[in-house]
A = this chain, B = another copy of it.
């Protein structure tokens, strides 16, 4: 299984946001919605063996961690509003604690920060990868990144503290290509590399 962590530094942590203004008053929630699309959608199918973890750090109840599990996920369509509606439902729960609560099928929410989440992956011996243009080319790392945990930032990237935290636990820094891309576009390139790796194994 692959896990994608996407950090929304300004993404609001209340369900009261408007689906009509996700880039504005919802704190660039649109970025997280596009990442959900990239993580899960195939042409006429969905990726099942994959999870997305949205870390929302905006006002007023930061932090909120929303987990989408491909195997259980329902009611998700490819458009931004569809992902936004599931995020909204998760944030609307009134009993959010450090224990996960399911909001809709395949979606859970809790109060947790990046350190907590990365610690959990590290305890499971999962390899954590960080993306930066000066990293190792993903095309030279396709076998190594299988079952990886991939940390991606929003329009603000990662803060210095977050970067130090991730690098301290990271199995490697990966580059998807020569240009700096949006997180949702990076996810497409990671999936493609792994799709090719898995297909090449089957062919052999």
Contacts and interface: CB of A to CB of B under 8 A. Distances in A.
Interface in A1-59: 19-20, 22-23, 30-31, 34, 37-38, 41-45
Contact of A179 (B23, B82, B176, B195): B195
Copies of this polypeptide in the complex = 2
A178 B22 CA distance: 34
A64 B198 CA distance: 41
A22 to B, nearest CB: 7
Interface stretch (A91-99, A101-109, A112-120, A184-192): A184-192
Contacts of A178: 195-196, 198-199
Contacts of A19: 20
Contact of A189 (B41, B43, B188): B188
A180 interface: yes
Contacts of A30: 78-80
A67 B196 CA distance: 33
A7 to B, nearest CB: 15
